[in-house]
Structure 1
Amino acid sequence: MAGQTARVLQGSFNTVPVLHSNQPEAVNGPGILIDTSLGIVYSETGLAMANPTLRFEGPFGLHFHHFYSPSSPGQGRLGRRPEPSLAAVVINPGGVPVRLRLFRGAVRNSFAAPYPGHQLLGVNPLGPGPTAVQMLWGRLDPDLPEELTVPPRSRLVLLRTDLPALGVVNGMQLGESDGPFHLAMVAAPSPATDEEIFSHIDSRRLAPGRTYLTQLEAIERGLVFSRVSGVALGDTYQASLSHDLERKGPLHVPLTRTVRQSFGIGKILVNRPVARMLDCALENVGTYGVRFDPLQRQTPTPRGGAAPEWPLHQASGL
């Protein structure tokens, strides 16, 4: 990018709500990661805070990224090193069934995602492709449900995955519902039954490790970025621009711009959370949960003719 002039991108996000679970990034034990139901939850120090209450209905997205670094990686249940289960729970607060359909989605932990350059711990990568690749291909993992019906005033586990010790898990899903529902992300000891997962929601206790709770004032003042734990509107950002590569040279378009770094443009490009945990970042920005489609040339540029239009699609949270 040296010597290039950044071009501002004029466009807009759509209004699809996306749940982002990235706080705490390091999961240190069982408990609630985020719950959009109405209610109060408590941190490991006893601090009470309101849930980021929001009812999903219609199109929705889900994105989560966490890792697990146990302080004492000894043996847990079944003689194995402790591996928490992460689960997404759908909660139907109403009096009629709610049907969810997933269009595309993927979940990958460190043992399933193919990172062939590393093969940490001697484990060969498994799986058809990383999470983002599955999303770009428009595919749904075969172990994720295409459809799920939640009975009235009930809850069901939408998905679950193990979080290996010293490992990472990423997940992204896109779907729609025919009625209102809440979403929650929970960490529980593995293997965990549905009832064990629900018990952590009922406990109203947050998973330990939310270190940014000591920096709430700095977060509000924009001095600390924190992690994202909330719901942001926008699974797609659409814009277009015109640029003649032959006459003007390389094109530099920063897709993510914040108040800290705008690449000389002076304008930011973020979708702020509309419902957030107390320690959530003020802006949903970065590469986690954001799909960047490549620029595609629609029409050739005749010599001396008009510059082509380049459509750009940025999907946030998916």
Structure 2
Amino acid sequence: MPGRLDDVPMFNSNSPEWVKVPGILLSTFPPQGKTVPTAHLNYAFNGPFTLFTHHFSLNPKDLRTLYLGILVRNPGRSPVTLSIPAVASYLLNPDAPFANKPQMLENPTGAIHSGPGIRAVDTVLRGQRQPDFPAAVSIPAGGDRLLLNHPIPVKGLDRNLNGRSTFIRLSSSGPVYVADLAMYAPKTQEGKERSPTLAEWQTLLKTSGLAGPRDKTPTPPGRPGNLIYGRVAGVQKGSAWKATLADPGQAVLKLPSPGQTIAYPISTLRSGRFGTGQSQAAPLLVRYPDTAYEAHGNYCVHYDLALPLRNGTDTPQTVALTLTTPVKADRLAPQGLRFLASPTFPFFRGTVRLRYSSAEGRSITRYFHLWHRTGEQVKPLLTLNLNPKSTQTVKLDFLYPPDSTPPQVLKISTLSR
């Protein structure tokens, strides 16, 4: 895959995925003055950044509601403005339950989804901001503000299980620290649950350790044997991968011969590079020692791909674009990418966007919700007819959906006549 990750940092909180012991999920605050200094990673955001948090509550005692709080601190001597151009936060139930879907559906309004993380990135891809979030937050010098103070209710749900996924695009006018925190709902004197206050979140940040139970410890890079990727809790370097898919040194991508295919890997990682030797997993600038070494899967990374397709022949050609999930492999077998006669588990679930021009020159934007099993042969996203000696650019972009499993490939196939 041409291109690279940009340098925009992402606050990535996904460990522990299943929260049963409240505490600090991820804190980039300084460790000074904290009861558990090792729970704080000392990283300040300044300028554009993104934020992803994805956690579940399972079987809490007495069916208490777990709250997630995102606390932001301005350590400076002047006010800081935190702009929020796009944001979404959804519960598993009732907002976006996991559900089987057809392989591909047009999704013009975002009404189709199959999980809270999938719905959150769909909303942000469209540049939308949920109405319960402001367009900007002003943080006074030395002050704290809550960016999120949202519940994960479980009472009355199957298996007492629920989860929440949140994705935010932000920009800060000055340095800020960020923490993602988990707390069971405090109760009023009458015994009813209430939302935690800012002061209660501040106390938890200062006195608590890491939330639990801890996930599986990841395998260090280069160690042989069984590979455990681990869950991510840290700040990754990179929020977008922008690329023009063209022939080396050229401005266009020449169509393959009829019956042939070009394939570009997407979201490659250790043990899943399809023979390219390329890992696209975002490196982590700071992390907890028992969490992932890289942002495997690149959840919420914006893949923004342009394909300047060139039919250099003297005859019309038909080209098909397909996003698919072959059987994961680090090296290619002699037959190339492998698929299964009986695909099983869903590996890619989420919305992608296509932009291109019609034969009449009209700009077209289409959204598709995809639901693909690993190794499944799937239908093309788009089939185009290219006239002789013509070029047409197609743009494909999506935020890599949480609850999907990498890697994928984008195939460009010239169909036989």
What residue ranges of structure 1 are gaps of 5+ in the alignment?
Answer: 1-8, 76-80, 119-126
**Match runs of 1:231-310 below 5 Å:** 231-241=235-245, 242-244=253-255, 247=258, 249-286=260-297, 288-292=299-303, 297-298=307-308, 301=311, 303-304=313-314, 305=389
Residues 1:189 and 2:184 aligned together:
yes
2:53 alignment counterpart: 64
Q: CA RMSD in A?
A: 2.9
More strand per residue: 1 or 2? 2
**Match runs of 1:1-318 below 5 Å:** 9-39=1-31, 49=38, 51-70=40-59, 73-75=60-62, 81-115=63-97, 117=99, 130-165=119-154, 166-190=161-185, 191-212=195-216, 215=217, 218-219=219-220, 223-241=227-245, 242-244=253-255, 247=258, 249-286=260-297, 288-292=299-303, 297-298=307-308, 301=311, 303-304=313-314, 305=389, 313=397
On the 8 A contact 2:233/2:291 being kept in 1, the answer is: yes
Worse overlay, 185-194 or 172-181: 185-194
Worse overlay, 200-209 or 33-42: 33-42
In the superposition, the TM-score normalised over structure 1's length comes to 0.80
Pick 1 or 2: higher relative contact order, CA cutoff 8 A, min separation 6: 1
% identical equivalent positions: 26
Alignment size in residue pairs = 287
Distance (Å, rounded) in 1 between the aligned partners of 2:396 and 2:167? 21
On the 8 A contact 1:19/1:62 being kept in 2, the answer is: yes
Distance (Å, rounded) in 2 between the aligned partners of 1:311 and 1:240? 9
Distance (Å, rounded) in 1 between the aligned partners of 2:390 and 2:276? 25
Q: Secondary structure at the match of 2:174?
A: coil
Q: Deviations over 1:233-289 (max 9, x none)?
A: 211111122251563634432211112110122221122011112222111121632
On the 8 A contact 2:121/2:399 being kept in 1, the answer is: no
1:121 alignment counterpart: none
Worse overlay, 218-227 or 131-140: 218-227
Distance (Å, rounded) in 2 between the aligned partners of 1:289 and 1:62? 9
Q: CA deviation at 1:58?
A: 0.8
On the 8 A contact 1:234/1:316 being kept in 2, the answer is: no
Distance (Å, rounded) in 2 between the aligned partners of 1:91 and 1:317? 29
In the superposition, the TM-score normalised over structure 2's length comes to 0.62
Matched to 1:268, the amino acid is: S
Q: Which entry has the higher C-alpha Rg, 1 or 2? A: 2
More helix per residue: 1 or 2? 1
What residue ranges of structure 2 are gaps of 5+ in the alignment?
Answer: 101-109, 114-118, 155-160, 186-194, 246-252, 315-388, 403-417
